[in-house]
Each structure stands twice: as C-alpha cells, then as structure tokens.
C-alpha cells in the first residue's frame, strides 16, 4: 500500500508537472519511500550532456505499471546532482534535477528496490585535455534481479580513436550491497594513427561504487583476435585508475604522438605486459621479436628504419600513447648473424633520462650507447648521450640506413667504421659532436664510379642537431676514387674538406667550405640544395699537379698530345659563382709559370678576367717573358686583358725584332659563349724580313695576315706568306690548321712559286743536280702528321736568259726511280750530265695514290724531260695511267737518299 | 597541234620532276669490305702474304718510268695512316681487356664496356680511357675511310657495321661479340 501510494504520488507529480505548465514542481524522492514501490520508467530519446555534470533530456516516457500512467513526448532538461538525487524539477514538461549547492558526497545512490526499470538512452560527450569521449545510446536496464548498462562508445584524441559498444551486467544484490558489481564487455575498433585494431575487452569482474566514481575491474582482459591479447585489472580511484594488462601483441599499429619522432610504427610479434592508467597514463612493456621501428626522418635520410627485437617498456597517457619511459634490452637486429643488443637502459621522458646505456654487439662490429643526465618530456634537458661504435660493417650500415638517392641508387658500401658521437642537451636543443673513422671503404656508384680502400675521417659538430648550423670536416688519406675518366689516389695526394652548413627555407645551405688536395680552395657565401645560391671561390694550386690530375692523365689517352704538354708554376683563381638554374661566374684566374709542348715553350704570367653569364667587367693582364715556336723565339709582350660578358680582349699587340726582321700582331679577342668551342680572332699578324738562321737555303720570310680566326676545329690565316728563296719567290695562301688542338692536326695551304733556281734547290737535296729555273704551284696541299695527304703539283721549267739547262745522270736516275724504274747509270756510263730543253711534270696525291705525268706529250708518250739536242736525254713516262702507292713512293725516295749517301 | 604541245610539255615536266627526286647513294660495299679487312688486319697484326713486285725492263737511251707493277692499292691517306698507327699502338693494351671480357665488340663497330667486375679502380680508369680513345679513333677512321671511298657521310654507320665484322673476326678469344642487336656471346 505504501509502495503504491508513493508510486502514485510520483506519477501524479510528474503528470502534474506536465499539466501545471510553467510552474515547477519539486519532487523529493525519498529513498525509503522509493524502495517500497515498484515502478516502470522508460525514458526515450533523452539526451544528456554532461559538461560539466549537467544533464539535459529531450524526451521522457514513464510508465507506472500499477496505474497505467505514462509520460510521453515531454521535453525535459535537468541537472543531476549525483550525491542524493534529492531535487527533481519538472517545469512545463521539463524535468530539472538541480545539483545541491552545498555539494557533498558524490555518486549515484538509489537505495530503492527497483524492478524492471529502464533508464532512457543517453548521449554523453566529455571534453578532456586528452581528447573527447562520447557515450551514446547508453541505457540502464534494471529489473528486480539484475541490471544491464549498455551503450555506444567513442573516444578521440592525440592520434587515438576508439569506437565501439559496451555492456555491463550485474546482480541486483550487488546493487543492494552498495555498488555495481558484475562483468563487462567492450567490443569495438581502435584506431591508432592509421592502424586499426579490432577487438573485445572482457571485464569479468567489474565493480562500480555507487557512493563515488570508483570503478574497479578485476581480471579483465582485452581480446584482439589475431592481433592483441591481454588480460589485466582496471581500477579507478579518485578520478584515477589503472589497468594492469598482460598479453601478447601480434601486430600493433603505429604509435602516435611524440613517439612518432623516433619509432613511427611497430610491426611484429609483440608480447607485452603492463599497466594502463585510466584516462591519462598507460604503463606498458612490449617485447618485440623481429619487429621493426621506422620513421626516422632527418630530411636527407628518408625511409630510415631500425628493425630489432627486444623489450620496450614505457608509460604514457592513454590518449596519445606518448612514450614516457623507454627500456631497451637484449635487442636483436633482424640480421641474426649481426648480433644484438647487450645491456639495458631506462629513459623516463618526464623525469629525464635515468641512465640509458646500451651496447650493440654485432658480429661485424659493436656499438655502445650511454646516456647521462635528464631529459624532460619534449625538451632536451641536460642529457648527454654518447654513441660509441667500432668495427661497424659498412655494408650493414648502408643497409641499415637504406641509402638510396639518385646518386647512390644501386650503389654499395663496404669497409669498417668506428667512432664516437656525443649529443648533449641544453637550452632546448641538442648539441652534437662526433668523429667517425672509416677504413678500407669501398663505395660503388653505378656506372662503375666510386671509391676503393679509402681511409676517411669525418668530424662534425653542431650547437643544434636539428636546426643547425653544422660543421663537418672530412679527410681522405688512403685509397682511390674514380669518376668518369678522373682517377685520384688519396694516398699520393690526400684530400680534406670542411663544410659549414645551415638550414634555411631553401633547404640545406653551405655557408663556407674549404678544400685541400690538388690545391687549396675556399668558398664563402650561401649555396643551398636544392635551389642554388652564390658565393666567392678562391682556389690556388700547383699547375703541374692540377694539369696532370685533371687534364693530361684522364684525357691523355684520347688526346696523346696532352701528355706531351707540361705546365709548371702556380694557379690562383678568385671567382664569384652563382647558380640559379644556370651557372654564372665572374672573377679572375691567375697563372705564372712555364708551359712546355713539342716545339712550343712559353714563360710568363697572366691574370685572366672571366665574365661568364654575368654582367659587369673584369680586368687582367698577360705578360709573356719568352715564347718559343720551333726555331722562333719571341720575348717580352705585355697586354692588358679586358673581360666582358662571354669575351676576353687583349688590347695591346706585339712587335719585336726577330731574325734580322720583325714580327708583329694586333689585339686579340676570345669569345666563349660556347665554352666547348670558343672562338678567337687576332687582328693582324705579320712578319717582315725574317731570315731563318738554320734554313738549308738562304731565304727571307715575309707574311701579312689581315686576320687570324678560328675555334677548336679550324684556324684560318687570311693573308699571304712570301718566301724569297733560290732566286725566286714562293707564295703561300689559304693557310689553315684543321683540328689544331688534337693529334690529328692538319695543315692546309696553296703554294705558288716562280723563278726558282733548280741548281740551288737540287744542291741541298739528294735528288741530283739540275740547272735551270722552274715555276709552278701546289694546290690543295694538306699535310698531316708531317706527311702530305693530298695535293696537285705542277712544275715546269722557266726560260731565263743565259742560264743553261742541264740535268745530271744522278737526277735522271732519281726521276727513273721515282717513276718505278731502276737506275740507268749502267746504260749511260760515259756522261755525267745532259742538256735538256724542257722539264715539266704534274703530280697529284689523293688517298695515298700518286699520279705522275710529263707535261710534254708527243704521240702516246709523255715527256718529263725533253732533250735539248742530240746529246740530251728524254725521260718519258710510258704509262700515262700510272698510280703509285704512297708507301712505294716513300720507298723510292728512300732509295734516292740511300744512293746519295752511298756516293758520299 | 596545241594539244600535242601541251602533252609534250606535261610529259617533260613529269620527267623533270621524277628526275629531281631520284636519290642515288653510292656505297662501294666490296671495296669497303676489302678496306676494312686490310686495315683491321694491319692494326691487329694479322699477317697476309705480300704481293711480289715486278721490276720492268729499261730501254737504252730512253728512260722508261712508271711501268713497274705497283703494289695493290689500298684506301689510305696520312690521316688514315695516323689513325691506324694509333689504333695499332693501342691494341696490345686493349687485348687483355677484350680477352677478359671486360670490353666487347659491338655490331656498330665500336667497343662497349661489358663488365668491370674484378677490376681495380685504376684499371677501370685505364679501361674507360682506352675505350674512349679507341672509339674516338674508330669514329675518325670510319669518317676518313668514307671520305677516301667517296661514301656519303650518312652511310658511315653502315661502314661501321662492315668494320665490326672485321673487329670481331680478329678479336682475341674470350672477347664478347654482339651477334644480334642486344645479343652477345663470348668468342
């Protein structure tokens, strides 16, 4: 009766609230009364927003079984004060439960005996520092014997996202005992970063203290089918809790948050045990077998991963799984033969480093890590980390670092490394200092480039490991390197580099660089990768070393003349270099010394101005002390050099006395827009009255070229050379050099001559004496390697008054031999010389084939020499279609020379 | 009459047009093969039987010239001789690398780097330099021979393929030779 009365009062009160409109009704639910009545109350579509601790209801349906009364469609909003639930306000369809102003005992307390009560569907959204928790479609179903709490659950925060359903069931007796006690189950999907974990959390013993928010779960375990298995205990005390979990992780997704700075993911068989602190912290221990951690991203070394197995312990907050404490022990690298970690260390990121010390003992080397000092979370503290290693295999290191760049793709590294790297925290950054020494290093970079047996020492330091600047120095003291045709032996000439690097918006930048080896160089400025930059380069070195290493040795096989050239003295360059998609240079290159080449020698000094793809001008000079060109010796020439964009001008010409005559040339200009084939011009080249001192015949040389111009392929001399010799004159025109800077250099010209005294000419040759005068020409003469390659020759006698025309028997023999016959002296033993009236022949050479013709034709015969009278002699070409091989001709000339020698 | 004249003019125009588009490329294949064989034999030191020389009779009071039997004429000139000399001089250095399979003779008449396994860096540098020098000389040789034979420059690759057979024929055992495009076998 009492129960019925109370129920009736409650229902009437609610009904009254609805009917009373805006006037609020206050219900005081007395536990003593409520415990004596059975009510059925159903709340549908009620949304409760608990932030903070304020609940709102949109719809409410209540059913009282005894009196058929029920509520439906009531808009309700109420604040729930958990301690006593003493105030329930219904205001025109709204139910308001006001919290008690005085606070008090927290918790939900219903000391009533309830039977089949379902408490609505609730949606809770809680914003917390670690994320946002939403509990939706949540309901409490209670009957006289048991209660069921069920609902949807989602949690999002710090890279972790959980979505699922939960349900807990307990007995009514446990509720009567003052708490919710029973078993629970959470089934859902957990996203950690991009990893998805699906599973079921079973909590066989769950206890919720109705007097306070203390939830204690004992013996719960998490089921992650095929993925994660765990069991443990979750307890909440004073808004904190813990969950001890023991289990085995077969595969676990990426760890988010701060951990991503080091291991971005864990993948492998990961048995673990640990403790989860509810809402804020997780303490865990993970054993890794053949797992892999990756994600170390240093900007340059991408896709770096470390694969290992071992034990990982840590604690962190549940929202982000931030790694607060790390223990590494007995880690094994995946390459079993390489060994594993020996030792153990602990890192507590909150408190600082507490002595992480590891020792990586590899079968091919060993590594030791020691940490001293403290490292507060997300700050660097004053920790000192030392990484010491020795005998580390280069091949293993390259695999570990996974070096793959456009330069190094498919490359390989061999050799052994040792060294020590020290990292020191302080002022919110890491300072780093280290030395690495490599021995017997071999680096192979396709196609066939690389280094072998190199001994290298690398030292580096930085005030801030992450942001820089960094200083690096590298010494290469042993071994060899090859790039294309360039080969360097570091044991002969050691190399040293030092670099000061910084980081900017454009990338990694070189601020200063030094080089010692083939010379000494220094760069100052800013050159970024990628992007480019600009700066000043100063370089100096010995010309001999630079020339032999960079020019004659690598290129001398292809161009043997380079090997015949030697360059002495010193070279010094000072150039401003800029790169912004294209190279631009401006500066000077100085040289002082001596250049030696076959038949050429130069002593002098110069400062060559260089303006390449750049604006402005540079000035320099060229001072020649002595130039020897075969027998020619020229002295003392100085000219200012003016550098303009893509050009160089020597403004002052040269004039000097030489061989009783003089030689002069004008200003010159060099264009190098096409650096592979620069063009040059000399404005005027002439020589007058030159009397070569060692010429076989007295002669005077005169030449005048209006212009000399050319490039790498051809040099043309626009003018005439005249040689006064043997009472006559030889005129040389169309003089040109083909392939002048190669071993295949050829000289081409046309020659005309007239009034040449044969007696004089034959006197200095083994041909045999002939008297008379000749005229003629040699057209299209090409001389290659000191031998004629082609020409068209025509020679004939020239009548000169008072000059007798006689030909010696020796000369007749020579002509006979040249024509392919033998000596004729046996047949003409009584005469030493013969008169002739005409001598004329034409000769051509092409493709190593000579043709020889007499110019006088009588009948079917060609006369090379026509007799002058009865006692004369005819030399007849009996085969007008003759073709004489070059080698045969050389052999015949040799026979002529030998004949002369034997006579002498 | 006019119609006949027009037809004749039209026929003439067609004839002229057809004459204009006729392209004749001269390629003396037999001579090129003979030249290639002679040159390669010489630079690779393959001995051939020399032809005998015939000294012709001389006449009294006349001096006859140029009737002697001449040596078989070769395609040569000073440039070709210089190139032959250069290639000949280099061959002893190249031969071991050919026999070891480091270098191969390609179908187009040039050397190709096959494998540098087992070579030191210094040897690699030597091989690269030798190969470049040899190929540059061969290229110049083909150009010079083509010029001497009056072969159009566009036909130089064809000349190279003719030379390729001779290079392969005279290569030492162990040399990689390209038998078909991309297909190699060791001699």
pLDDT one-digit tens code per residue, B106-165: 999 999 999 888 888 889 999 999 999 999 999 999 999 998 888 988 999 999 999 999
Question: Residue A806 has what pLDDT?
Answer: 87
**ipTM, two decimals:** 0.77
The pLDDT of residue B56: 40
**pLDDT at res. A792:** 94
Query: Which pLDDT score, from 0 to 100, does residue A137 have?
Result: 58
CA distances from A615 to A182, A362, B40 (A): 87, 58, 53
A482, B70: Cβ pair inside 8 Å? no
What's the whole-model pTM score?
0.64
- Among residues B69, B56, B59, the alpha carbon closest in space to that of A821 is found at B56
- Measure CB to CB from residue B77 to each of A822, A824, A847 and give the nearest one: A847
Contact B86 A877 (CB under 8 A): no
Mutate to test the interface with B, among A442, A789, A790, A810 (most CBs of B within 10 A): A789
> Chain B contacts of A790, Cβ < 8 Å?
77
Instruction: Name which of A677, A719, A716 is nearest A702 in CA terms.
Output: A719
Task: Give the residue on B whose Cα is nearest the Cα of A811.
Answer: B63
Among A487, A885, A888, the residue with its CB nearest the CB of B121 is A487
Task: Pick B121's closest partner by Cβ from A480, A557, A873.
Answer: A480
DSSP-derived pairing of the beta strands A833-846 and A856-858: unpaired
Q: Do residue A821 and residue B63 have CB atoms under 8 angstroms apart?
A: yes
Question: How far apart are the C-alpha atoms of A619 and A627, rounded to whole Å?
Answer: 23
Q: Which residues does chain B have within 8 Å of residue A883's beta carbon, measured at their own beta carbons?
A: 70, 73
CB contact under 8 A, A874 and B62: yes
Below-70 pLDDT ranges, chain A: 1-147, 149-150, 155-162, 167-383, 396-412, 506, 820-831, 869-871, 880, 900-904
Are A445 and A483 contacting, i.e. CB atoms less than 8 angstroms apart?
Answer: no
Closest listed residue to residue A537, CA positions, set A552, A548, A526, A550:
A526
Long-range contacts (CB closer than 8 Å, 24 or more residues apart) made by A45-49: A45/A120, A45/A121, A46/A76, A46/A120, A46/A121, A46/A122, A47/A122, A47/A123, A48/A80, A48/A120, A48/A122, A48/A123, A48/A124, A49/A123, A49/A124, A49/A125
pLDDT digit string, tens, across residues A519-529: 999 999 998 88
Cβ-nearest to B79 among A480, A556, A744: A744
Give the model's pLDDT for residue A364: 52
What is the SS3 assignment for A320?
coil
A786: Cα within 13 Å, side-chain hemisphere: 1
Contact A876/B82, CB-based, under 8 Å? no
Query: How far apart, in whole angstroms, are the C-alpha atoms of residue A731 and residue A705?
Result: 13
Residues A530, A536, A541: CA angle, nearest 5 degrees: 110
Considering only alpha carbons, which residue of chain A is nearest residue B131? A558
Residues of A in contact with B122 (CB under 8 A): 480, 482, 487, 489
Separation of alpha carbons A370 and A379, rounded Å: 19
Residue pairs between chains A and B whose CB atoms are closer than 8 Å: 152
Which one of A450, A556, A789 has the shortest CB-CB distance to B79? A789
- By 3-state DSSP, what share of chain A in percent is helix, strand and coil, each rounded to 5? 10, 60, 30
What is the pLDDT at residue A18? 33
Give yes or no for B63 touching A (CB within 8 A). yes
pLDDT value of position A715:
94
């Amino acid at each position: 009766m009492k129960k019925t009365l109370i129920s009736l009062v409650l229902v009437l009160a609610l009904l009254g609230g609805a009917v009373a409109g805006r006037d609020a009704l206050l219900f005081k639910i007395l536990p003593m009364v409520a415990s004596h009545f059975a009510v059925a109350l159903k709340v549908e579509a009620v949304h409760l927003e608990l932030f903070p601790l304020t609940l709102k209801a949109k719809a409410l349906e209540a059913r009282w079984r005894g009196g058929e009364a029920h509520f439906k469609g009531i808009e309700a909003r109420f604040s729930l004060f958990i301690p006593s639930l003493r105030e329930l306000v219904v205001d025109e369809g709204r139910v308001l439960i006001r919290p008690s102003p005085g606070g008090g005992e927290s918790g939900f307390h219903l000391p009533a005996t309830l039977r089949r009560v379902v408490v609505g569907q609730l949606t809770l959204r809680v914003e917390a520092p670690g994320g946002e928790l939403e509990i939706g479609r949540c309901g409490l179903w209670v009957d006289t014997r048991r209660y069921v709490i069920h609902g949807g659950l989602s949690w999002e925060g710090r890279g972790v996202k959980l979505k699922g359903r939960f349900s807990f069931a307990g007995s009514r007796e446990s509720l009567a005992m003052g708490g919710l006690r029973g078993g629970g189950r959470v089934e859902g999907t957990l996203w950690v970063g991009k990893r998805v974990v699906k599973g079921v959390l079973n909590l066989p013993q769950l206890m919720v203290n109705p007097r306070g928010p203390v939830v204690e779960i004992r013996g719960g375990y998490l089921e992650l089918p095929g993925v994660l298995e765990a069991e443990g205990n979750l307890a909440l005390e004073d808004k904190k809790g813990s969950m001890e979990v023991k289990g085995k992780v077969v595969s676990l997704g990426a760890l988010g948050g701060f951990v991503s700075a080091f291991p971005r993911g864990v993948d492998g068989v990961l048995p673990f045990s640990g403790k989860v602190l509810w809402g804020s912290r997780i303490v865990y221990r993970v054993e890794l077998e053949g797992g892999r951690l990756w994600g170390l991203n240093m900007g340059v070394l991408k896709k770096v991963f470390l694969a290992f197995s071992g034990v990982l312990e840590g604690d962190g907050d549940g929202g982000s799984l931030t790694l607060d404490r790390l223990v590494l022990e007995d880690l094994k690298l995946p390459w079993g033969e390489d060994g594993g970690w020996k030792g153990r260390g602990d890192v507590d990121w909150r408190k600082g480093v507490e002595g992480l010390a590891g020792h990586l003992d590899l079968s091919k080397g060993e590594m030791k890590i020691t940490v001293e000092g403290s490292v507060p979370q997300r700050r660097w503290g004053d920790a000192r980390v030392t990484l010491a290693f020795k005998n580390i295999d280069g091949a293993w290191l390259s695999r570990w670092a996974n070096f793959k760049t456009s330069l190094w793709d498919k490359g390989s590294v061999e050799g052994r490394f040792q060294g020590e790297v020290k990292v020191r925290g302080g002022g919110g950054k890491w300072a780093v200092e280290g030395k690495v020494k490599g021995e017997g290093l071999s680096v192979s970079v396709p196609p066939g480039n690389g280094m072998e047996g190199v001994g290298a020492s690398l030292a580096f330091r930085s005030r801030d490991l992450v942001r820089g600047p960094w200083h690096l120095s590298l010494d290469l003291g042993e071994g060899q390197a090859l790039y294309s045709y360039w080969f360097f032996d570091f044991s002969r000439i050691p190399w040293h580099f030092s670099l000061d690097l910084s980081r900017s918006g454009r990338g990694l930048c070189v601020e200063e660089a030094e080089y010692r080896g083939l010379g000494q160089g220094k760069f100052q400025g800013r050159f970024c990768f990628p992007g480019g930059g600009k700066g000043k380069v100063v370089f100096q070195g010995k010309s001999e070393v630079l020339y032999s290493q960079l020019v004659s040795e690598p290129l001398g096989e292809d161009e043997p003349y380079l090997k015949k050239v030697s360059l002495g003295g010193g070279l010094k360059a000072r150039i401003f270099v800029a790169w912004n998609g294209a190279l631009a240079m401006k500066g000077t290159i100085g040289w002082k010394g001596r250049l030696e080449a076959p038949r050429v020698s130069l002593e002098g000094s110069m400062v060559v101005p260089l303006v390449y793809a750049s604006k402005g001008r540079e000035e320099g000079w060229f001072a020649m002390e002595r130039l020897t060109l075969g027998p020619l010796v020229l002295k003392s020439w100085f000219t200012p050099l003016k550098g303009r964009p893509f050009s160089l001008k020597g403004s002052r010409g040269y004039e000097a006395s030489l061989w009783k005559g003089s030689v002069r040339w004008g200003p010159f200009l060099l264009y190098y827009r096409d650096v592979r084939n620069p063009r040059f011009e000399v404005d005027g080249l002439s020589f007058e009255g030159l009397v070569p001192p060692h010429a076989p015949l007295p002669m005077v040389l005169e030449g005048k070229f209006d212009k000399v111009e050319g490039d790498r392929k051809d040099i043309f001399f626009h003018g005439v050379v005249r040689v006064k010799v043997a009472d006559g004159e030889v005129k040389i025109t169309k003089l040109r050099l083909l392939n002048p800077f190669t071993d295949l250099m050829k000289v081409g010209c046309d020659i005309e001559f007239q009034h040449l005294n044969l007696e004089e000419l034959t006197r200095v040759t083994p041909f045999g004496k002939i008297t008379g005068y000749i005229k003629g020409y040699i057209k299209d003469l090409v001389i290659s390697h000191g031998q004629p390659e082609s020409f068209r020759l025509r020679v004939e006698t020239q009548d000169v008054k008072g000059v007798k025309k006689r030909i010696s028997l020796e000369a007749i023999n020579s002509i006979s031999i040249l024509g392919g016959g033998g000596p004729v002296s046996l047949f003409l033993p009584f005469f030493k010389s013969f008169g002739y009236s005409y001598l004329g022949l034409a000769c051509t050479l092409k493709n190593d084939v000579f043709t020889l013709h007499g110019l006088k034709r009588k009948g079917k015969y060609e006369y090379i020499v026509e007799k002058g009278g009865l006692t004369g002699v005819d030399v007849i070409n009996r085969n007008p279609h003759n073709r004489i091989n070059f080698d045969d001709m050389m052999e015949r000339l040799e026979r002529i020379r030998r004949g002369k020698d034997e006579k002498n | 009459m006019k119609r006949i004249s027009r037809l004749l003019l039209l026929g003439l125009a067609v004839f002229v047009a057809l004459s204009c588009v006729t392209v004749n490329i001269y390629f003396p294949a037999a001579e090129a093969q003979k030249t290639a064989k002679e040159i390669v034999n010489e630079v690779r030191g393959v001995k051939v039987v020399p032809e005998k020389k015939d000294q012709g009779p001389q006449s009294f009071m006349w001096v006859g010239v140029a009737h002697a039997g001449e040596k078989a004429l070769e395609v040569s000139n000073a440039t070709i001789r210089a190139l032959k000399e250069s290639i000949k001089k280099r061959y002893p250095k190249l031969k071991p690398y050919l026999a070891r399979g480091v270098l191969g003779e390609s179908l187009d008449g040039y050397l190709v780097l096959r494998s540098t396994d087992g070579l030191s860096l210094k040897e690699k540098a030597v091989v690269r330099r030798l190969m470049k020098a040899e190929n540059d000389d061969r290229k110049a040789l083909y150009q010079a021979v083509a010029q001497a034979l009056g072969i159009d420059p566009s036909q130089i690759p064809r000349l190279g393929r003719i030379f390729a057979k001779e290079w392969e024929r005279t290569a030492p055992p162990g040399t990689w030779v390209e038998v078909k495009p991309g297909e190699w076998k060791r001699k």
